[in-house]
Amino acid sequence: MRSRVLPLLALTAVLTALCVCSAGAQNLNLANQYYQNGEYEKAASLYSQLLERDDQSDLFFNRYVECMINLGQFDECEKAIKKQLKKYPDNISLYVTYGNLFDRQEKTDEAKAQYQRAIDKMSPDYVSVNRLAALFMSNGKYDFATQTYERGSKLLKDPNRFAYNLGELYRRKGDPAKMIEYYLNALSADPGKIYTIQTLLARYLAADDFTELQSQLYARIQTEDNPDMIEILAWSFVQRKDFKSALRQYKALDKRLDENGQRIYNLAKDAADARDYDTAISGFDYIVTEKGRLNPFFFDAKRESMECRRKKITEGYDYTQEDLKILEAEYENFLAQYGKGKQTSSIVLQLATLEALYINNLPKAIGLLDDLRKSPGLEPEVLARTKINLADYYLMNGEIWESTLLYSQVDKQFKEEQIGQEARFKNARLSYFNGDFQWSQAQFDILKASTSKLIANDALDLSVFIMDNLNLDTTAEAISLYSAAELLVFQNRFDEAFLKLDTLHSQFPEHSLQDDLLYLEAQIYDKKRNYEKAAALYQEVADKYPEDIRADNALFALAQLYEQKLNDVEKAKTLYEKIFIDYSGSVFAVEARKRFRILRGDNIQ
């Protein structure tokens, strides 16, 4: 009999416990509901009942206290806190609760005394420090959270144990100098945090704060053997577009860590993108001269260095043929030393561009690329680029058959790839130049879906242009004259192009091509480096024909002219802004917004 009764009693006990737990859960849910609804008297009654079952629960006690405070029962609340402290004197969160009570009564000194007591009684362990600091932060007591972490560092005998937390606190308090100090302390303690610290500094430092950051970094570099500080310093210069100072730091870091020059290469690329060509050239040349031919960046650095030299010369008013000849000689000396082949193919391509587009020596450009495409071991993509450029130069030289043959070869080999689409576009444009408008328009319509935004935009532009002008005419005479003039501009035969345009003006004075004629004239003056005349014509297109298809083209070309050639950043910004506001559907709108933000100084990732 006894053996059956005992299990029955045990089962009864379990069921009773479950019922109690269920009732407790129901009371807690109901108490929380009353609390959320602001029915504090009902909530307090239920939290009090819950505390009778579990008087160590901080949640129950704090909610009970909060209800009492909201009911204005401050004396009753204080008695409850003192009673709880008597039971659990080591529960330092109770002192924070006590301080909150005084704060709600505007008894500031009494509140501070309780908060300080919590800090003084804090246990010397990581969890206790974090818990107390989090409690202060949840109540917006950042000063006391700061004191908590600072005392915690002393108790744990590790000055940087809570450096990251302190950096976050000083950020919230709006003290950038202290924020920087503790973020850098955190980096000293944990080098793995460098990218986290960079991200935080980029996000929260104002432009004026970088001076403070650099000042602190210089001081640390004098006393601290930590290459991360040099890297952060260099990074800070990059954020301010001071590439020259950044390069100085990266060179020191490269030598100190015996690196391969990759970070210098990347910095030089950034400087080149920002048109700081002197710094870019210095960085690329450092790799070439200091690292030598066996370095993986050697030929790329030389290529980029020469490209920067060319841009530095040609992106302005006053370069001379002598300037170009000096650059040509540097190319030729390098190629004489290292040969013309697979490794130097990109440099040969650059020299050919210099000869064709700037020195106007088309036979030499064609000879360079004709030899290069016969070089053994060229990568397929490099060979394709060689053929496309060679086809361009043949077209400029009037050798149309050779040009279309090369374009077609690249199109066939790379049919679904971007370089193949580029070749297809140029072949279609060649047909357009020759007056085969229907076939070229069909190709342009296909290329409107190109993965290359530039190709898609150009294809759309020409497709719409052909459609508009063929539909309006009973003959194709006007558009034929215009496309022939475009070919002459492409071939740099400007005087002949002007004669074609004069014929168009005289024979078709009322034709809808008037905005296109002005636009093409502007392009001619742009290529002739008469930038003021080009700017005036682009502006005339935008002013006279704001609703026609060339208006946004002219505005974008004009903005680029002011940004890159006329050095009027404010005017360029105004024009870019006009494009993405007044011509929001333009293919140039996205790029215009991007350029506007860059010129405004936004940090574009």
Same domain, 398 and 477: no
Paired tokens of 215: 């000042």
| Mean pLDDT along residues 189-202 | 91
Check residue 77 and give its pLDDT.
84
Determine, yes or no, domain membership for 42: no
Whether 112 has a pLDDT exceeding 90, the answer reads yes
Single out the residue of 374, 370, 375 nearest to residue 389, CA to CA: 370
Determine, yes or no, domain membership for 378: yes
Mean pLDDT over all residues of the chain? 89
Which residues make Cβ contacts (< 8 Å) with residue 214, sequence separation at least 6? 233, 236, 237
Counting residues of the chain whose pLDDT is more than 70, the rounded percentage is 94
Res. 74 pLDDT band, cuts 50 70 90: confident
Whether 9 has a pLDDT exceeding 60, the answer reads no
CA separation, residue 508 to residues 266, 298, 494, 537 (Å) = 53, 56, 21, 20
Same domain, 562 and 492: yes
Whether 18 has a pLDDT exceeding 60, the answer reads no
Whether 183 has a pLDDT exceeding 60, the answer reads yes
Whether 130 has a pLDDT exceeding 50, the answer reads yes
- Selected residue with higher pLDDT from 42 and 357: 357
Determine, yes or no, domain membership for 157: no
Same domain, 479 and 592: yes
Determine, yes or no, domain membership for 586: yes
Among 386, 412, 438, which residue terminates a domain? 412
Whether 25 has a pLDDT exceeding 80, the answer reads no
Among 412, 443, 459, which residue terminates a domain? 412
Q: What are phi and psi of 315, to 5 degrees?
A: -85, 65
Whether 82 has a pLDDT exceeding 90, the answer reads no
**CATH number, domain at 380?**
1.25.40
Among 382, 412, 442, which residue terminates a domain? 412
**pLDDT tens profile 511-540:** 888 999 999 999 999 998 899 999 999 999
Same domain, 580 and 476: yes
| Mean pLDDT along residues 58-72 | 81
Q: Which residue has the tokens 């300080």?
A: 116
Res. 474 pLDDT band, cuts 50 70 90: low
**In this structure, how many other beta carbons lie within 10 angstroms of the beta carbon of residue 504?**
23
Determine, yes or no, domain membership for 49: no
Determine, yes or no, domain membership for 269: no
Which residues make Cβ contacts (< 8 Å) with residue 274, sequence separation at least 6? 241, 243
**pLDDT tens profile 278-295:** 999 999 999 999 999 999
| Mean pLDDT along residues 181-203 | 92
8 A C-beta contact, residue 312 and residue 296: no
Whether 26 has a pLDDT exceeding 70, the answer reads no
Res. 2 pLDDT band, cuts 50 70 90: very low
Residue 493 gets which letter from DSSP? -
In 141-162, which positions are buried (b, 16+ CB within 10 angstroms) versus exposed (e)? bbebbbbbbbbbbebeeeebbb
- The C-alpha torsion from 464 through 465 and 470 to 471, rounded to 10°, is 50
| Ranges of H-type helices in 448-493 | 453-472, 477-490
Check residue 132 and give its pLDDT.
93
| Mean pLDDT along residues 317-335 | 89
Determine, yes or no, domain membership for 463: no
- Selected residue with higher pLDDT from 8 and 559: 559
Whether 12 has a pLDDT exceeding 80, the answer reads no
Domain count, the chain: 2
Q: How far apart are CA 179 and CA 28, in angstroms?
A: 41
**pLDDT tens profile 414-440:** 998 999 999 999 999 999 999 999 999
**pLDDT tens profile 370-397:** 999 999 999 999 999 999 999 999 999 9
| Mean pLDDT along residues 168-193 | 93
Same domain, 406 and 481: no
Which residues make Cβ contacts (< 8 Å) with residue 406, sequence separation at least 6? 387, 388, 390, 391, 394
Q: Give Cα 431 to chain centroid, integer Å.
A: 39
Check residue 103 and give its pLDDT.
86
Whether 154 has a pLDDT exceeding 90, the answer reads yes
Determine, yes or no, domain membership for 478: yes
**CATH number, domain at 582?**
1.25.40.10
| Mean pLDDT along residues 569-590 | 93
8 A C-beta contact, residue 425 and residue 447: yes
Structural domain of residue 591, as residue ranges?
A: 471-600
Single out the residue of 472, 581, 547, 527 nearest to residue 537, CA to CA: 527
pTM of the model: 0.75
Whether 605 has a pLDDT exceeding 60, the answer reads no
**pLDDT tens profile 212-242:** 999 999 999 999 888 999 999 999 999 989 9
Check residue 21 and give its pLDDT.
46
Res. 5 pLDDT band, cuts 50 70 90: very low
Same domain, 397 and 475: no
